[in-house]
A = this chain, B = another copy of it.
Amino acid sequence: MKKFINDPKQFVPEMLEGIALANPDTLRYVPAYNLIHRADAPNHNKVTIIQGSGSGHEPAHVMTVGKGMLDGACPGDVFAAPPLDFITETVKLLASDKGVLLLVNNYTGDRMAFEMAEEVAEADGVNVKTLFIDDDVAVKDSTYTVGRRGVAGNFFVMKAVGAAAENGADLDELVRIGEKVNSVTRTMGIALTACTPPAKGEPLFDLGDDEIEIGVGIHGEPGRRREKWMPANDIADVLLDAIVPDLPFESGDRVAVMVNGLGGTPISELYLLYGIVHKKLEALGISVGRNYVGEYCTSLDMAGASLTLVKLDEEIETLLAAPAEIAIRVF
């Protein structure tokens, strides 16, 4: 494993320290809980928004803390939901009089930790609501399964509720908005390589030199199926064929499009893919209202990309267009 790293156990804390040192005016770092929060939080004129999840998805979510987005993020270690304590202490520290909204990507570990934290916070008298994000079409959704995963589409939920909170929306209104955005957001990802978690020191799975993994999650979990490498045009088809019929997105729709890099794919390739997707959507009669090309939610150093479509209406588009000030400006 060749990374910029000292000790795998210090990977997350040292990264968080770097973020804090790079943003001394706007961010604060609480090492005990892996917590990065806005310097001005809690702000009792707005609902506090907190997102947990594991590390290894940067810029999600620690680098999206800031005005117009999150008030705080308290990630666990790489690919591990934060321990209960991190969440409860973060909630205590950042709770606003207007309440707390917890954003959670729908994974078993995250669900359990945040559900427990919600109980604890409520017992402490905090007005808290939790919103689960599950935009990943690669996973079959039924009551029989654990349901879809939350992947790169979480950005749109964060951005929309972040903007609405800044405008003074109350907790119920934020839940309504977040659920609405989540309900019109669909993502599908493809890995070209496996990622290497620092603590493991070697790639999480073996992928042949000519193989790709289709429908991969953001933790290096294997995806729907393995196939031979194919040209970007065909990859765009695979992604669109999974996403478009799912909502469905239809001719006449206006959408936001995100081509999200998984960590090891250069921006040149992402724009190449974006161009292809843009034209294919146009051919379907779907117009692109906003686009996002870059890294939003990664899997460490995995080469690969995910495609997200969000069906826009005026309310969503306005919230997405609102300004925000975060360490990484990605929109």
Contacts and interface: CB of A to CB of B under 8 A. Distances in A.
Copies in the complex: 2
Interface in A1-17: 2-7, 11, 14-15, 17
Contacts of A266: 58, 263-264, 295, 298, 300-301
Interface in A44-69: 55-56, 58-59, 63
B231 A273 contact: no
A279 B21 contact: yes
Contacts of A275: 14-15, 17-22
A272 B291 CA distance: 29
Contacts of A20: 275
A301 B264 contact: yes
Contact of A269 (B3, B209, B210, B295): B3
B294 A328 contact: yes
Given A21-B278, A275-B18, A5 B293 contact: no
A: contact size bracket: 35 or more
A272 B5 contact: yes
Interface string A219-258: 0000000000101110100000000000000000000000
A265 B5 contact: no
Contacts of A18: 270-276, 278, 293
A212 interface: yes
Interface of A: 2-7, 11, 14-15, 17-22, 55-56, 58-59, 63, 192-193, 209-210, 212, 229, 231-233, 235, 263-276, 278-279, 288, 291, 293-295, 298, 300-301, 303, 305, 327-330
